[in-house]
Amino acid sequence: MPAIAIILRNHVQNCLSFFKLTVSYFKKRNPVMNSISNTVKSIITFFSLGKRLKIMKYQVQLMYYRMHQMDKLIKENNPHNLSGGSVLNKYR
C-alpha cells in the first residue's frame, strides 16, 4: 500500500509542477493577448492599404514626371541639335 501512495503523491506533484509551469508561461507570454493584438494590427493594416496605395501611386507618378523632365532636357540640350548644348548650362 505505501508504494501506491508514493506513486500517487509523485504523480500529483508532477501534475502540480506542470500546472505551475503552464501558469507561469501564460503569465509571461500571454498568447491570447498576442493573438488579439496581431489581429487588431492586421485589421488596421488592411484598412490603411488604400491610403498607402495612393501614396505609392503618387510617388511613381512623380518619379515618371521627373524622368520625363530629364529626358526632355537631354533632348533639348543635345549638341547635335540646331540649338546646341547651351540651354543645359543655363539651368545649372
Are 11 and 42 contained in the same domain? yes
Residues 33-92: tens digit of each pLDDT: 999 999 999 999 999 999 999 999 999 999 999 999 988 887 776 666 655 555 555 554
pTM above 0.95?
A: no
Same domain? For 35 and 17 the reply is yes
Which value, to the nearest 10 degrees, does the dihedral of the CA atoms of residues 57, 58, 60, 66 take? 160
Whether 36 and 68 map to the same domain: the answer is no
Per-residue pLDDT at 85? 53
User: Do residues 58 and 89 share a domain?
Assistant: yes
- Expressed as residue numbers, the domain containing 63 is 51-92
Tell me the three cell numbers of residue 91: 539651368
Dist CA 1 CA 7 (whole Å): 10
Number of domains in the chain: 2
Same domain, 40 and 65: no
